[in-house]
Amino acid sequence: MLTIRQPVAVKVILTEETKQSWLAELRRHINTTIAELEELEFRGKQMLRDAEKQGDGAVQATEQHLENERNQRITRREQLIQQLTQIQQMDLNAEVPNGTLETSADIRVGDSWDQILLGSEIVLKDGVVVEIRRNGMKIE
């Protein structure tokens, strides 16, 4: 017998409670990102004033830095909005992938490698484990 590490897929059955929780979390992240953009604009003006005292090279470097920071936050905001839209469109009771964990699996001579590779899944509903599957089959 040999024990190996194996990924376990975690899935969530989408309930209204879970959906609303995920949407609220995404809205918080969107609002945080918008606040970061506003703060960046405010701080950016001061940074540019400070850079002007150091010359054109400093101004250009500061402008480039601010543009990069701004673009990162805009990209993040757009990705969050896209996720929010996707979740809004999801059907209730759908199984939604929600990450992976690692577990140990015992293998023995004669075990089917294909069955081992199928892996395991944990299914959650409102934060409660409702099903565990190994090799695609429900286990107790």
- In order along its 140 residues, the chain shows pLDDT tens digits of 999 898 899 999 999 999 999 999 999 999 999 999 999 999 998 998 888 888 888 889 999 999 999 999 999 999 999 999 999 999 999 999 999 999 888 889 998 888 777 778 999 999 999 999 887 778 86
Q: What is the C-alpha radius of gyration for the chain, rounded to an integer number of angstroms?
A: 24
pTM, 2 dp: 0.76
Structural domain boundaries enclosing 105: 2-139
Number of domains in the chain: 1
Distance, CA of 84 to CA of 82 (rounded, Å):
5
On whether the CB atoms of residues 121 and 10 are closer than 8 A, the answer is: yes
